[in-house]
Amino acid sequence: MYLVLLIFLPLLAAVFIPFLFKRVGKIHTGWFVFAVPAALFIYYLTLISDVMNGGTFIEEFAWIPSLDIAISSYIDGLSLLFSLLITGIGSLVVLYSVFYLDKNREQLHNFYIYLLMFMTAMLGVVQSDHMISLYLFWELTSISSFLLIGYWYTRDRSRFGALKSMMITVFGGLMMLGGFILLYIMGGTYSIRELIPQAAELVNHDFFIWALVLILLGAFTKSAQFPFYIWLPDAMEAPTPVSAYLHSATMVKAGLYLVARFTPIFALDGTWVWLVAGIGLLTLFWGSFFAVKQTDLKGILAFSTVSQLGLIMSLLGVAAAAYHVEDAASTVFKYAAFAAIFHLINHATFKGSLFMIAGIVDHETGTRDIRKLGGLMSLMPISFTIAMIGAFSMAGLPLLNGFLSKEMFLTAMLSIAQFELFSMDVWGFLFPVLAWIASVFTFIYSFYFVFHTFAGKHKPELLPKKAHEAPIGMLISPAVLAVLVIVIFFIPNLVADWLIKPAVVAIQPFLYNSPAEVDVHVSAWHGFQPELFMTIGIFAVGGLLFWKLRKWQKAYKIFPEAFTLNRLYDGMMFLGDTGANRFSRMYMDGIMRNGFVYMFSAMSVLVIATVFLNDAFLVDFSQSAPIGFYEVTIILAMIIGTIVILVTSSRLTAIIALGAVGYSVAILFVMFRAPDLALTQLVIETVSVALFLLAFFHLPKVAKKMERPSFKLGNAIIAIAVGAMMTIVALSAHSQKIIPSISEYYKETVYTLGGGGNIVNVILVDYRGFDTLFEITVLGIAAIGIITMIKLRLKKKEAPHENK
């Protein structure tokens, strides 16, 4: 139970934040917040020893037992790794934010509540074994991310970025929910652990491919893969601690987590391998290519995050290919999963530190525009050192952890190209080629980031503030991460044993029984392998291109703005908003006649079509009453009266004709042996005609003539359709009576039970007296309504044109 509670610990702590902020104003609220992730981090560290020996923890809290919905905490290698990242980097980010955000000027309580909310959400995502609660936490990350991006809500760009990320990630989240529900329909359980053993049967199910695509949509939108990456650069309007935490180290990796988590289920289908590896590689290339174009420090980092996420995604795709080869344990595919997790950790360390450095530069110089920056090396030596370590690791330089994972990445890409699987022999060569080009660009933007900020000429006249080194507290967090970057290079196998191998077991469970069986050994020196030459090539070409960067960077301007994905998104939003508005205005024009037209045409088409499609049309004369001469005469009179109403242009004539029709109805009632009806009809018709005359004839302001009713063909067609519909329904209904009438009962018992002779009246007041009660009520309400309409005159405040 307490593992589930730990997920909610940050959210519980958030309850106290406003009090701490308002009452304890002297101390920066961040210090109190810091204790939460730090304590969780230490706790999760204690689980490592169990998990690295293959142990798992599972605890469930039954939330809605009748619907089989539970909040679960399942800790295996993969979720423990993510939990450590979330709490570890979370602590560092909180520490950094203490110095980054001013306690007097900022709304700190909002910030930390959102941040703690996000922490709970993220822990829930990675520890949920139950798909519905996974979805719940997934959406909570979207919402808290939305709130954090829009933290400075008075800025337009913040609100725009927040909305954009919300739209895209929530779209993906909903798709993912669909995938989850399909999985539940197929497998009969919400538990991911219980679904994995069923994978071999699920793969043949019709819904399988749908579930696969929908869940991938969720993962791709969250992890900013092509073409959904567009929200990430706009999310850079968030405060820098948020960018460092959510948009580089944790939230954007939720999609990677999802892919890794579902690999044992979906990897059995080749589509998964192709989609994950292909989209990942495309994203890698695209992100690295456009990172060089950026002029904003955080923009560079955003695109670089997109690109690195693509790298990890493609590695996960290659890892899934292991499911399709015989004797996978002896192939290189098992390295791919290892490399993916390894790079995931490495990326979290170096990208976190780089974001914090970007924040420091912004904080101390007042700008993030790389064109205004330069020559900060001597002014900010510590920041420069940290930035250099992070960027060199990102570029894949030796002696840093990025080098190791990039080598493994190149190994995986080279080996998949040689593999004859899913027509890899045709397209496989693209993998190493694209990977190599993307690595060159990665090298360029890494150097671009560091050297165009810290080297070159200092331009103090362009900077809003006088540049100087950041306070030491702000440097602690990036320094810790930078130290990790170096340390991991020297002890990669220790990290592997503790963290990576248990996670790999979760991705490729069919290969291993326990983490100890993962026989991958990281070494900094492979000997003279092809990947070494590729790396040398990357350094050489990347170095050369970086040296001439100023010459060719302008070439990016050739790409037309009109064809970018952002334009597509803006266009879709415009269409959704203005387009839908226009569409509504098109048919909801406020004219009642058009409403009638839609209603009547839909009704008549539906009814007539239903009658004929079901073969229900039938005319049967056998049960009919005989046709009488007087009845026919009255019917003719009614038809004439109605035609007069239709064609006359005089109000008076129309009203008199209506009266004639009403009296004819009364006479028909007489002929059809309904004396009470005839009586009522006569009286009511008289009163109605009087009322009509009162309302429309004696009204002084309105002319006694109506406008000449011109014949309208469209109206006539609709009217005839409705008339035909009623005739068809009436004929068919009368010709096919199935059940005898209940009236025999009334006729037989009217005197014995009802004590009356007039059957209609006894029905009205005795058998079905409730109808009458409420009919009286209707009449009463109408009377009150009429009196109110006439008597009540609420004064209009401004109505000089009122015609009284």
Partner 1 sequence: MEILMSLLIGFLFAAAVYLMLSKSLIRVVLGTAVLSHAAHLLLLTMGGLGGTKPPVVADGVTVYDYADPLPQALILTAIVIAFAVTAFLLVVSYRAYQELGTDDMSLMKGNEDE
Question: What is the rounded distance in angstroms from the CA atom of residue 652 to the CA atom of residue 642?
Answer: 14
**Phi and psi at residue 577, to the nearest 5°:** -85, -70
Interface residue with partner 1 among 626, 739, 794, 798 (CB under 8 A) is 626
Question: What is the rounded distance in angstroms from the CA atom of residue 772 to the CA atom of residue 582?
Answer: 47
Is 755 a binding residue for partner 1 by CB under 8 A? The answer is no
Question: What is the rounded distance in angstroms from the CA atom of residue 448 to the CA atom of residue 547?
Answer: 10
Q: Closest approach of Cβ 748 to partner 1, in Å?
A: 6
* Bridge partners (DSSP) listed for residue 369: 296
Nearest to 94 by CA among 32, 43, 24: 32
Site string for partner 1, 239-278 (x = CB under 8 A): ----------------------------------------
Q: Closest approach of Cβ 758 to partner 1, in Å?
A: 5
For residue 298, CA distances in Å to 101, 144, 570 come to 17, 20, 22
CB closer to partner 1, 26 vs 593: 593
CB closer to partner 1, 427 vs 596: 596
Q: Closest approach of Cβ 575 to partner 1, in Å?
A: 22
Is 764 a binding residue for partner 1 by CB under 8 A? The answer is yes
CB closer to partner 1, 547 vs 598: 598
- The three-state secondary structure class of 74 is strand
**Phi and psi at residue 61, to the nearest 5°:** -120, 115
Interface residue with partner 1 among 517, 581, 676, 753 (CB under 8 A) is 676
Interface residue with partner 1 among 15, 632, 640, 753 (CB under 8 A) is 632
Q: Closest approach of Cβ 616 to partner 1, in Å?
A: 15
E strands present in 413-482: none
Is 750 a binding residue for partner 1 by CB under 8 A? The answer is yes
CB closer to partner 1, 565 vs 646: 646
CB closer to partner 1, 513 vs 581: 581
Is 605 a binding residue for partner 1 by CB under 8 A? The answer is no
Decide if 142 contacts 173 (C-beta within 8 A): yes
Decide if 76 contacts 51 (C-beta within 8 A): yes
Is 674 a binding residue for partner 1 by CB under 8 A? The answer is yes
Sole window of 3-11, 192-200, 463-471, 762-770 interacting with partner 1 (rule: CB under 8 A): 762-770
Question: What is the rounded distance in angstroms from the CA atom of residue 416 to the CA atom of residue 319?
Answer: 10
Is 667 a binding residue for partner 1 by CB under 8 A? The answer is no
What is the Rg, in whole angstroms, of the alpha carbon atoms belonging to the chain?
38
CB closer to partner 1, 471 vs 780: 780
Sole window of 80-88, 379-387, 550-558, 771-779 interacting with partner 1 (rule: CB under 8 A): 771-779
Q: What is the DSSP letter of 198?
A: G
By CB under 8 A, the residues from 562 to 601 that bind partner 1 are 589-593, 596-597, 600
Assigned token pair, 191: 């538990």
For 613-654, give the secondary structure using H, E and C: HCCCCCCCCCCCCCCCHHHHHHHHHHHHHHHHHHHCCEHHHH
Q: Closest approach of Cβ 144 to partner 1, in Å?
A: 35
Question: What is the rounded distance in angstroms from the CA atom of residue 662 to the CA atom of residue 374?
Answer: 94
By CB under 8 A, the residues from 693 to 712 that bind partner 1 are 694-696, 699, 701-702, 706-707, 709, 712
The CB-side HSE value for 56 (13 A sphere, CA atoms) comes to: 20
Interface residue with partner 1 among 514, 523, 610, 624 (CB under 8 A) is 624
Question: What is the rounded distance in angstroms from the CA atom of residue 802 to the CA atom of residue 804?
Answer: 6
* Bridge partners (DSSP) listed for residue 71: 61
By CB under 8 A, the residues from 713 to 742 that bind partner 1 are 715-716, 718-720, 722-727, 730-731, 733-734, 741-742
Nearest to 666 by CA among 658, 657, 656, 677: 677
By CB under 8 A, the residues from 408 to 447 that bind partner 1 are none
Is 476 a binding residue for partner 1 by CB under 8 A? The answer is no
CB closer to partner 1, 62 vs 782: 782
Site string for partner 1, 274-313 (x = CB under 8 A): ----------------------------------------
Site string for partner 1, 361-400 (x = CB under 8 A): ----------------------------------------
Phi-psi region of 24 (alpha: psi -120 to 50; beta: other; left: phi over 0): beta
